[in-house]
Amino acid sequence: MKDIVRQGFAFHAKLVERMAAKLGLDMTEEVEAGRMSFTGLDDAVHRCMNCSDPEGCQLWLDNHEGGAHDAPEICQNRKLFKRLG
């Protein structure tokens, strides 16, 4: 299986957006509404880049087509998503 841990910022930004969407959040809307800063969004992507299991994250996202109430425990942004939700 391809090692996706080494993927760049854009790849992980997409994972953050996908995870947010599964939780009923729109990160652009969160920034525009002032509930999150651009720096905070940048920090979220960098936390995602430090994840030990991005492949597991992708599988989780694929298996939750109908959405979810909480991010998986491995998610580096779980607390952030919980706060925004």
**For residue range 21-54, what is the model confidence (pLDDT) as tens digits?**
999 999 999 999 999 999 999 999 999 999 999 9
Domain that includes residue 75, residue range: 4-84
CA distance 14 to 57: 12
Predicted TM-score of the model (pTM): 0.89
Q: In a 3-state reduction of DSSP, which class is residue 36?
A: coil
> Do 33 and 79 touch, CB atoms closer than 8 A?
no
**For residue range 54-81, what is the model confidence (pLDDT) as tens digits?**
999 999 999 999 999 999 999 999 999 9
Count of structural domains within the chain: 1
Find, among 36, 70, 41, 71, the residue nearest to 56 by Cα.
Answer: 71
pLDDT at 7: 81
CA distance 49 to 8: 8
H helical segments located in 1-85: 9-22, 27-32, 38-49, 54-62, 78-84
pLDDT at 20 over 70: yes
pLDDT at 2 over 90: no
Residue 17 has phi, psi (to 5 degrees) of -65, -40
